[in-house]
Amino acid sequence: MHKKNYGHQRGGICGEYCKKKTIKFIKGFSLPSYGLWLYKIHPSCWSSAYILGLMCMPGLSAYVGFIEICSPKKGEYVFVSSASGAVGQIAGQFAKLMGCYVVGSAGSDEKVDLLKNKLGFDDAFNYKKEHDLDAALKRYFMDGIDIYFDNVGGKMLDAVLLNMRQHGRIAACGMISQYDLEQSEGIHNLMNLILKNNRMEGFVVTNYFHLYPQFLDLTLPYIKEGKMVYIEDVVEGLESGPSALIKLFAGQTVGKQVIHVSNE
Q: What are phi and psi of 183, to 5 degrees?
A: -125, 135
Dihedral sign for Cα 63, 69, 70, 73, please: positive
Name the pairing type of β-strands 199-202 and 123-126: unpaired
45, 135, 187, 245: which one binds a second copy (CB under 8 A):
187
21, 34, 44, 186: which one binds a second copy (CB under 8 A):
186
CB of residue 28 vs a second copy: minimum separation in angstroms? 34
Is residue 245 at the binding interface for a second copy, with CB under 8 A as the rule? no
Of the chain, the end-to-end C-alpha distance in Å amounts to 7
Calculated CA dihedral for residues 200, 189, 253, 63, nearest 10 degrees = 10
DSSP structure string for 97-125: HTT-EEEEEESSHHHHHHHHHTS--SEEE
Is residue 192 at the binding interface for a second copy, with CB under 8 A as the rule? yes
Is residue 199 at the binding interface for a second copy, with CB under 8 A as the rule? yes
Q: Which stretch binds a second copy (CB under 8 A): 23-31, 54-62, 192-200, 222-230?
A: 192-200
CB of residue 236 vs a second copy: minimum separation in angstroms? 32
Q: Return the ∠ at Cα 136 (arms to 228 and 182), rounded to 5°.
A: 85
- Residue number, 59 or 168, with CB nearest to a second copy: 168
DSSP code of residue 50:
I
The rounded distance, in Å, linking the Cα atoms of 179 and 119 is 27
198, 219, 253, 257: which one binds a second copy (CB under 8 A):
198
CB of residue 173 vs a second copy: minimum separation in angstroms? 7
Exposure of 60 in the CB half-sphere (CA atoms within 13 A):
24
- Residue number, 90 or 124, with CB nearest to a second copy: 90
Is residue 153 at the binding interface for a second copy, with CB under 8 A as the rule? yes
The interface with a second copy within residues 165-184 (CB under 8 A) comprises 166-167, 172-175, 178, 183-184
Residues that bind a second copy in the complex, under the rule CB under 8 A: 153, 157, 166-167, 172-175, 178, 183-204, 207
